[in-house]
Structure 1
């Protein structure tokens, strides 16, 4: 394209001098420089100022500088994720019936793995228990469709408005909840009990456990005291999960609970989702919690979350580490949510012979060729202008009956003004081929005249 544009600009030189008005000899050099590159084309632009067809050629010669950069942007080689042949799995559960390592039922104690999950959920600095769920993502980037599993749900209500204060002229000396925990004095104290105080959680049959806590941290400030009531229960949750850069994240899409499920000495907790809610979208109809496991967990949680403690100028004393963790937490609701997720993970990771893990897609990176067609607009426009300029030059040359001499130096020598090179009689050298043939028989010499000028002399 550059060669064609350069040749057309050279031909425009003869169109320029074919006009009725005489042109400067200097323009010969301008046209010649413009046909060789963008710098000369810029000089020709300044000189012509859109007065001739060659102006378009000079513009194209400059635009061609950007042709390759734009063309290089057309094709790129990004990476995209495509399904891998390796499977991705994540655990789920339909049954919870804790057993010992000897596969014996545990009627009165909670298995050690569940205890570890409970402590981890309470003591964890960050509320990121969902990242501890057991999964297998061989590529580090995986996704799973919706799947359902037996889980533990939680909810906390602020019942500070129910706190009663006993005060005198010296200040408040007793804080209490109806039928619940009490604090003697103010500042640095916590008291938690397994009681049913408010009616806001009564509709939830807390099949795991329910507790209330009263906390006061500031000395001599009764308005600092606050109370919370929390409940935890077994539920069926529907999840979506994904792994990105080897970091897993889960999202609960739906949660379903059975308000009629109650702890019983001999009956398991049955969660027949489809029987109660035909519109529930779960990939299993029956979820079950062993009555032995449920009773053991209820007993352990009730004991663990009952206690008191406090701090003063001489030190601190708490009935258990769990109570101390509850006292130090800034957001009890978030702490209970993290505990519920940690316990749910444990239920899902136990050996459930009924439920199979949820299978997802493991994604792997693939490099592919991507054509960005928008970047072709500039090269196509320049090519179209170049073609139009070339065709326009051809048409103008034919219309003005000018021979195709383009950048030929022989045309200047054979047809220049007052040059010494004379044609033999009856021989025409108008065409480029004729000039080339004649030039074979003409010999020149660059000599210095007596006037110290330099001149081509024919010999």
Structure 2
């Protein structure tokens, strides 16, 4: 078993290597060349500077670019953290060594308290000693700069961490998005016959959407994610898509106030609006009665004025229907063409004569305050509204499950001409009614985006127009009535069907004209919903757009490099100033060997340690003032201890020296 004093061969080799390195550095420190004396510190400063330069170079290269995808798990953040650690460690070494050198310089020339030696020594080792040194020197000595650098170097890591941020940005992707547009509306219809005759059909796609607006508050957006689902078949491969402004065939609406064409009267006139009327379509069977209300007084109106809102003044009993005194007409929807023959009711439209191909042009008059308002003869709300085919320029976008679209411009055919409607009675095989058809294809020649000379024709064939227009015969004309203030109002609709009337109660009447119900807005929503139906037909052409997705980018905040660069510059200044200040002195820096060489003699150590009754040795070190001569050692200023009989020594220092 080896003795405790024995050292293994590998430890000897390790110690020899360490000794050789220390010996080499010691020889350099004893060199007459100033650069060689401080070579290690200069190299360390350059290492720190190179690390910072590499960091800045990488930041300049990757600024504004996508975060790099390096092999392995190395990230840009980790790379900067490693270099910043190396830079900080390399930067603190020359500061520490320079403070160690200034420790010896501090005691040369003038006596200082021995306690300063420990303060300087601690300052070269860490921030607490640097803080004490800064206080001791009051910031006036060169060593104070080194202490300040040591303290601020504690913030190097946080500052380097704040230099780089990785925000997400939207970047254009290689894939495209698409959105439908309609050049023409011509869906496929199956043939329907009755007694060998082709039956007029309604467009079911239009009908499904339109009836929501006839009897309810329209279609409601479907919630999807944090937004609403698009009502047209868009294609967006990412969560952010935009499309250029584009044109599409659609439906437009307009409304105008006609309150000035209403007058309040009490008349004995034809009654066609009561809920239980069964003789629809047979004007000769309508009964007359006494009524009071607001009547439509308009040029070109055939026959007597038409009551738009009012009430019965007497009971009615006839084969065509029964009604009691006090039954009120709350809302009347009156189309400006006859529902059976499509003949104009007036001399064309009142406010929209320039609209060439109206899908429906109608009047809607209602009293806002219900039965009580009608019985009080309140002035009703009255509008003329029109739905027509038009070309819309759309601006569309899709962002995070929310689809947004707005109409930039509209264009419609304003060519004047005779009505395209025709009708003839049905007489074959005992059928009643009329054969109605539309003689004109709808054609709208709209300039492309309204800014170029290119013309595109949009339109609807006449057979499709007829099927779409017939959808609105269900609600125009219609009557919303109540038998008493406490009764539930009833809507009589589908008046083109004879015999038993069609009646419906409504949870919400969108045409009632209450303060919270805007007929103009309701029509705009209806036109938008119908436009979406037209655009959603399969095989419609599509507009290509841009698709964006989030990509992580490198953002550099250069201001956070101010402290590292400032410390780098101050360290250079501090190192150069220390080299110049100590150029003619021995370079001992933080060497422990130098401390041992210039230790106090045994007699002085004994004097200090034996003075416990007067304070601890550390306390005495605060009182003892010394200065250093590189050739003669420490010299005490004054005699702080009681004289003791000195032991004779072979080599005695000169008088006055320890």
Q: TM-score, normalised by structure 1?
A: 0.77
Task: Check whether the contact 1:99–1:111 (CA below 8 A) recurs between aligned residues.
Answer: no
- Asked if 1:44 is matched to 2:133, the reply is yes
Matches of 1:45 and 1:375 in 2, distance apart? 25
Over 3 Å counting, the alpha-carbon distance change for 1:134 and 1:234 in structure 2 is: same
Aligned to 2:282: none
Partner residue of 2:153 out of 40, 44, 64: 64
Matches of 2:563 and 2:454 in 1, distance apart? 54
1:14-163 aligned within 5 A: 14-18=104-108, 20-101=109-190, 108-120=200-212, 123-124=217-218, 126=220, 131-163=230-262
Task: Check whether the contact 1:206–1:231 (CA below 8 A) recurs between aligned residues.
Answer: no
- Asked if 1:191 is matched to 2:332, the reply is yes
Aligned to 1:174: 293
Shift of 1:363: 2.5
Over 3 Å counting, the alpha-carbon distance change for 1:188 and 1:369 in structure 2 is: farther
For structure 1, list consecutive stretches of 5 or more residues without a partner in the other structure.
422-428, 432-450, 452-459
Aligned to 2:458: 287
Over 3 Å counting, the alpha-carbon distance change for 1:103 and 1:417 in structure 2 is: farther
> Which shows bigger deviation, 355-364 or 179-188?
179-188
Which SS does the other structure have where 2:244 is aligned? strand
1:363-374 aligned within 5 A: 363-374=548-559
Aligned to 1:258: 413
Deviations 1:201-231 (A, max 9, x none): 4444462222221221323466673222222
Task: Check whether the contact 1:98–1:110 (CA below 8 A) recurs between aligned residues.
Answer: no
Over 3 Å counting, the alpha-carbon distance change for 1:22 and 1:136 in structure 2 is: same
Deviations 1:36-63 (A, max 9, x none): 3333333333332221122222222222
Aligned to 1:396: 581
Shift of 1:357: 0.8
Aligned to 1:386: 571
Aligned to 1:445: none
Shift of 1:343: 0.6
> Which shows bigger deviation, 139-148 or 364-373?
364-373
Partner residue of 1:412 out of 592, 595, 612: 595
Matches of 2:521 and 2:573 in 1, distance apart? 71
Task: Check whether the contact 2:184–2:460 (CA below 8 A) recurs between aligned residues.
Answer: yes
Deviations 1:232-289 (A, max 9, x none): 2211112222211232221222222221177633321111123xx8953598611121
Pairs aligned (count)? 413
Which SS does the other structure have where 1:217 is aligned? coil
Task: Check whether the contact 2:249–2:391 (CA below 8 A) recurs between aligned residues.
Answer: yes
Shift of 1:77: 3.0
Task: Check whether the contact 1:261–1:269 (CA below 8 A) recurs between aligned residues.
Answer: no
Task: Check whether the contact 1:189–1:216 (CA below 8 A) recurs between aligned residues.
Answer: yes
Q: TM-score, normalised by structure 2?
A: 0.56
Task: Check whether the contact 2:229–2:402 (CA below 8 A) recurs between aligned residues.
Answer: no
Deviations 1:162-186 (A, max 9, x none): 543459xxxx952344346611159
Matches of 1:224 and 1:201 in 2, distance apart? 24
- Asked if 1:339 is matched to 2:480, the reply is no
Deviations 1:290-316 (A, max 9, x none): 122223323332542432214531222
Over 3 Å counting, the alpha-carbon distance change for 1:73 and 1:278 in structure 2 is: closer
Matches of 2:157 and 2:177 in 1, distance apart? 44
> Which shows bigger deviation, 192-201 or 22-31?
192-201
Shift of 1:346: 0.9
Q: CA RMSD, aligned part only?
A: 3.7
Matches of 2:563 and 2:334 in 1, distance apart? 76
- Max radius of gyration: which structure? 2
Aligned to 1:211: 362
Aligned to 1:440: none
Which SS does the other structure have where 2:205 is aligned? helix
Task: Check whether the contact 2:242–2:545 (CA below 8 A) recurs between aligned residues.
Answer: yes
Which SS does the other structure have where 1:63 is aligned? helix
1:403-442 aligned within 5 A: 403-416=586-599, 418=601
Matches of 2:252 and 2:443 in 1, distance apart? 16
Over 3 Å counting, the alpha-carbon distance change for 1:286 and 1:61 in structure 2 is: same
Which SS does the other structure have where 1:51 is aligned? coil
Shift of 1:392: 2.7
Shift of 1:125: 6.1
Which SS does the other structure have where 1:324 is aligned? coil
Over 3 Å counting, the alpha-carbon distance change for 1:51 and 1:92 in structure 2 is: same
